Structures are given as structure tokens and as C-alpha cells.
Amino acid sequence: MQVIFQDPFASLNPRMTAGEIIEEPLIVHRTGTKQERIAHVAELLRLVGLPPSAAPRYPHEFSGGQRQRVGIARAIALKPKLIVADEPVSALDVSIRGEIINLLMDLQSEFGLAYLFISHDLTLVEHVSERIIVMYLGKIMETFPSSAISEALHPYTQALISAVPIPDPRAKRGRIILSGDVPSPIEMPKGCPFNPRCMYAKDICREREPVFEEYRGGRFAACHFIKEMRCL
């Protein structure tokens, strides 16, 4: 498993060149000779859309998108099966986010990678994911195929979806406004962790944590009243 970090500025050592950053995991795992590693670094740079001549450059000499490409090259250097992408485009300009997402998807297709893609942008998550997990205070509230995002079951997921901007300014969608503040994860609420902000919460929600169970279409959720609310 490897990680693509959120901040391409802080995740790269400013005292190391791009080539040294990408080569480091190969050295740690004693992979290849020096010449083989240099050739591999050049190939990795090409794979992420950078010229091999970029290897001697330091992080401050790259743009934000180029730095993230260096981070991606480092992540795939050892050919992992799983990559944790921790909000890999949230720190980048909107104009280059699409380029990085397309790069990640191309690499996934070429190398058969599995991504654990972490993001607060549900539109992006729907685009890149096969299955979505929605969490609140470290607890899984719901999971479903990305194709079923419009049929979310849990009240928290419904609130998140209602906050996604609609491209058509003439279109209207009811916005679900959550009341109160997010509780402290140090002092978790009793029962369902979402109950202090849930408009459907009842006494049982404040006393007993709901069971995470399967509903139709491979969808799972943790809520006491989903069947009543959704007529399942």
C-alpha cells in the first residue's frame, strides 16, 4: 500500500530532488542497481506526464500540479496493489484537478490499481469510485454503489447530496440544513453518532447505536428508521 498525500507542497522533501524523492522507496526496499533505479525513475516521470529531465529539479521548481505528479510517481514506484489517495486534488487549482484525476484513472487502468479515494467532494467521488462509503465521526453511516448515489438512504448522506451545487442555475433542489455543530469525537454522543443533528432522531436514536445492515441493491446503512422513511 502507498499514499498520495493531500498537500503536494508539504509532502515532498524540499532538500531532495524529484529523482531522489521517487527513488527513495526503491532504495529502502533494495530494488535494483543504481543504474536500474535511474532508468526506472525516468520511466515513472514519463508515466505521470513529466520529462525525465525533471529528475534533478527540486520541489520548489515545480507547479502544484507537477508536484502532485511527482508524489504520484513515488506512490507507484513499487507497483502497489492499493493506493490511499487522501484528497489528492483538493489543494490544487480547479484548472488542473481534471488532469490529475484523469492521470489517476489512466494509471489505474494500466496497472490494475485499487484506490481508496478520500474526499469531501461527492461529485468527484461519484466520478472516480465504484463504491462509496459515507462516514460521520469515524463511523460508517452508509455504503452503496456510486451509480446509486441519487438514492441515498441515510439522512446524513441526503444532507451531503443536497449541498452539491447544481450546474443549471434554473434547476431547484431542496437544501437540507443540519442544525447544531459536529460533536467532539472525544466525547461521542450516546446511541447514533448523528442523532444530535438528525431531523428524524427519536429516543431510541439517543440510547442505542443502529445496526449496520443491508438494504436493496447492495446498499448498507446504519439507521433505526430507514425502512419507515424510505418505505423499503
113-130: pLDDT as tens digits:
999 999 998 889 999 999
Same domain flag for 106 and 148: no
* Structural domain containing residue 190: 139-230
Which pLDDT does position 232 carry in this prediction?
46
Boundary of a domain, candidates 119, 148, 180 = 119
Same domain assignment for residues 115 and 6: yes
Q: Are 101 and 89 in contact (CB under 8 A)?
A: yes
**Total count of domains within the chain:** 2
Strands 131-136 and 139-145: antiparallel
Residues in the chain with pLDDT values less than 70: 230-232
Query: What residue type is 220 in one-letter code?
Result: F
CA Rg, the chain, in Å? 22
Closest listed residue to residue 105, CA positions, set 133, 83, 138, 120: 83
Give the per-residue pLDDT at 119. 94
- Say whether both 182 and 214 belong to one domain: yes
Quick one: pLDDT at residue 129?
A: 94
Whole-model pTM? 0.88
| Domain's final residue, options 85, 119, 153 | 119
169: Cβ–Cβ under 8 A, 6 or more apart, which residues? none
The pLDDT value recorded for residue 175 is 84
127 within domain boundaries: no
Crossing angle of the two packed helices 34-47 and 64-76, in degrees rounded to 10: 130
